[in-house]
Amino acid sequence: MAQLELNGVVQRYGKHTVVAGVDFQLEAGSIACLLGPSGCGKTTLLRCIAGFEDIADGEIRLHGAVVSRAGLSTPPEKRRIGMVFQDYALFPHLTVEQNVAFGLGRKPAEDAHLRVRQLLATVGLHGQGGKYPHELSGGQQQRVALARALAPRPELILLDEPFSNLDVGLRERLSVEVRDILKREGSTAIMVTHDQHEAFAMADEIGIMYEGRIQQWDVPYNLYHRPANRFVADFIGQGVLLPGVVAGGTNVEMELGRLISDIPVECSETCANCDDGCDVDVLLRPDDVVHDDRSALQAEVLHKAFRGADILYTLRLASGAEVLSLVPSHHNHAIGEKIGIRLDADHVIAFKKQ
């Protein structure tokens, strides 16, 4: 049985539909991320799951039991859900230990003390229990907030942009740490973010949200290499769409001639029945295009962005079309230089022309 299950969840503020029919399931012990642009409904969906918002249609189940449907809502405190917010929301007048113990409610003092000490060690704050929040860095405060949410061993932990007040380096480190902590505790969690690197570092599975709907619920690899629609293709990673025509079922003919013939074409859901002659746009990621001095296909270097380990080249093909190419940075080419390229992809994704 899934730990969390959403079926056709709809939420409205007045006439404004914010969550427009969301379905997904989360197994116990899984970490999911909701990823999407600002305003797409991520926080509202989390608030529905936590019980702070009523839903207009559909249902939410926690461990099989319905906790939300139209006209019915189990109150937040009865859902056994822990929450971590962007602004930590610690009690300033309580010590670290007291903040974490607050999450435990009325446990016998002995048990509570043990659990608090164990949690502080888990989140890397061993021996800091006597400090007050203002004596800690932002990253440490967020760890206290996480320990407090984990304390009562909730059925589900919800984290809403928990790292967005922290600087980039710390954010990346903490997202990996928090993942380890959640895994060690065996927690089931959903984290909201608008940062795909954070989502990739944290999540077992990711739901891409846009305009109140989940556009694709999938593992990170598939979101990048097999996006379900143009929105996901564009929102995740970099790349270009090049026009092509389906030829021979599994091949696509492009202005680039034989560049990607022999490569099976997977038409996305927007193009379920791809026939010969069907006009498509083919998604090429920067890592799909590699340099090859022996290749007859030449491209001109238009632009280059040095990124340390690699360089992101913008290349112009003979047809005038542009592609991106990511190569190790010791392959250093000048702007205007002509270089040989070929595709290095075991599949391509195509979208039917709109």
Confirm or reject binding of residue 354 to ligand ADP (CB under 6 A).
no
Confirm or reject binding of residue 220 to ligand ADP (CB under 6 A).
no
Q: C-alpha distances in angstroms, 221 versus 107, 147, 155, 187?
A: 43, 30, 28, 23
CB nearer to ligand ADP: pick between 206 and 341: 206
Per-residue x/- marks for Mg ion, 34-53, CB under 5 A? ---------x----------
CB 228 within 8 A of CB 215: yes
| Residue 18 CA to its chain's centroid (Å) | 20
CB nearer to Mg ion: pick between 11 and 43: 43
Rounded Cα distance, 64 and 338, in Å: 61
CB nearer to ligand ADP: pick between 10 and 245: 10
Confirm or reject binding of residue 17 to ligand ADP (CB under 6 A).
no
Confirm or reject binding of residue 142 to Mg ion (CB under 5 A).
no
Least Å from the CB of residue 89 to ligand ADP: 17
Rg for the chain, CA atoms, rounded: 24
CB nearer to ligand ADP: pick between 164 and 229: 164
Confirm or reject binding of residue 221 to ligand ADP (CB under 6 A).
no
Rounded Cα distance, 347 and 354, in Å: 22
DSSP per position, 230-298: HHHHHHSS--EEEEEEEETTTEEEETTBGGGTTSPEEE-GGGSS--TT-EEEEEE-GGGEEE-TT-S-E
Rounded Cα distance, 190 and 83, in Å: 10
Give, as one character, the DSSP assignment of residue 195: -
- Using the contact rule CB under 6 A, the part of the chain among 32-40, 178-186, 199-207, 246-254 near ligand ADP is 32-40
| 1, 38, 75, 293: which one binds ligand ADP (CB under 6 A) | 38
| 17, 44, 128, 270: which one binds ligand ADP (CB under 6 A) | 44
CB 288 within 8 A of CB 341: no
CB nearer to ligand ADP: pick between 43 and 99: 43
Q: Considering CB distances under 5 to 8 angstroms, the limit depending on partner class, which of Mg ion, ligand ADP, none binds residue 41?
A: ligand ADP
CB nearer to ligand ADP: pick between 210 and 313: 210
Q: Considering CB distances under 5 to 8 angstroms, the limit depending on partner class, which of ligand ADP, Mg ion, none binds residue 18?
A: ligand ADP
Rounded Cα distance, 307 and 287, in Å: 14
Count of residues of this chain found to bind ligand ADP when the rule CB under 6 A is applied: 10
CB 119 within 8 A of CB 182: no
Chain positions contacting ligand ADP, by CB under 6 A: 13, 18, 36, 38-44
Chain positions contacting Mg ion, by CB under 5 A: 43
